Structure 1
Amino acid sequence: MTARVLALHGGLIAVLLALHFLLPAYHHGNLARVMVLACYAIGYNVLFGYTGLLSLGHAMFFAAGMYGMGLPLHFLGIGAELAFLAGLLSAAALALVVGLLALRTAGVAFMIVTLMFSEAVYLTILLAGKWTRGDEGVVLERAERVFFGLDLSDPDIRYLAALALFALCLFLTLWLVRQPAGRVLIAIRENDERARLLGYDIFRHKLAAVVISGTISGAAGAAYGLLFGYVGATFAEVQYSIFPLLWVLLGGAGTIIGPFFGVLFMFYLIDLSSGITSAYMLIAGIALVLLTLFAPQGLAGELRRRRMRWLP
């Protein structure tokens, strides 16, 4: 791993840490939310950006992590630490099952199957309303959100916890894609038939990508519930499967820092547009179309194409 790659990604973490002491309360809270959602986008990027598998159902992994954490925490009182682990295991188990079944298909069929699985998870959440409380959701009490003695409802601790999770996901993905297994995923993305002819087990590598992607996305969901104190069915809807695709495309698919910039750009685009007009999605849509036309590889992707060829 080259020094400039480490300097770039370490510099981003350092800037985010410095902003913790500089930002006003409103933007401080927003950036904490952006970092958690960026972890979700990073998970999606492993599957789409680096492996070339387009999923339309990733909200099920985010929701699995969120509900796998939230329900045991709220109803069983197992503690935030074990609850977070339960969320991770729930997302990983779901990703393994979905991967084993969905990877029997390819292309458009894979997209449809993942969408169907996600809808099934969403409907299950609604049907189990006695425990999940459906669209109303579950509000986690402050006393429940204590993680290794840290009160995650405190804005300062919440921000630093979000930053720690984001840094972990960022560097874990950076390490992964620079390993031989990560290079195989990129080879599969570019030409899976050629990778198969070279002797690689395509199914096994794709399954690993689904599980890793789902687990990271589940970690984001579990963290979101813990940090912001809410677990709801909204996060399992189709729009939360479309969002990570947009974030990755805007930031730059197949780049490590792209998902963060994609989430940051879209979050504040919608936030600023909603302050101007009730038709804020129209403004956001126009901006997204223009960005797609003039920066088709996304923000980080264009930066890599024009200036920084070494950008991973």
Structure 2
Amino acid sequence: MYKLLELPGDLDTRPLRQALWAHHIGHRFTQQENQQVLWLADPEQRDEAARLIELWHRGELDASATRAAPRRRPSVTGQAFGQAPFAAGLIAVCVAIFLAMTFAGDAIVRALVIVPLDVVGQRIVPGDLVTDTLAGGQIWRLFTPALLHFGWMHLIFNMLWVWYFGRQVESVQGWRRLGVIVLVAALFSNLAQYFTGTVLFGGMSGVDYALLGYVWLLSRRRPGSGFFVPQMLMVFMLGWMVFTMTGLGDAVGFGNVANEAHLGGLLVGLVMGWFASRNASGGGHDVSGESSSGDNQ
């Protein structure tokens, strides 16, 4: 979310809310001490929102202002790239790789798993992390298993959380911060899974849990930062992680789950969130165009 404006806590903002929704401006108000904070879902709508706020301040936000003129709305893809281009691009890459696996499955998988794989007879012979991946200069393999998905449900489930949590990080703190979290989480969650003795694994779930931990901790330590995780969603995500650790997920048809990647990603996200929450206030802008403190890129 994009921080736009702070208002007194006792101010009636209902006319402004109605006007914003009428103009298809996604937004949310949060309470911070004695203030109301207005957040926008799409930073590109800042100027339009500022115009409505100015009319509201002058008492000129009449019925005509709350009815938006018909206009062509951007496509879902256009909205996604407008709101959070890095998160949307990451999802697009994962979808493209998943579709490519349909036509060149083995070749794609062998190119992106954490160590090179050779097929000898009917057996898959994995390479070595140190001698092949590191010394062999194939450093990308430390990160790329996160881009692999082995079924539609696997892909959709992971991309849903990439968008939900990644969009928050990108909107509040910028694409660079999101990129760092994704790379660090992919690295540590992939290594955590590898050191359990598994080489053929993939998925963005470790990154998802890192983003969950990061956003949740900042939402608790910095309530006015714009980050938000519903309590029941946190319970569900942690419950799912525990559920899969019991082995019941495989028993009911979900297949083998990268439990170590989930846990490793969550710990990475919590650590990064703790450091970020020590001196980050979330960032954003007010309607005058001046930057507020924070990490916006």
Query: TM-score, normalised on structure 1?
Result: 0.25
Question: Which structure features the higher share of strand residues?
Answer: 2
Between 1 and 2, higher relative CO (CA 8 Å, sep ≥ 6) is seen in: 1
Question: Which structure features the higher share of helix residues?
Answer: 1
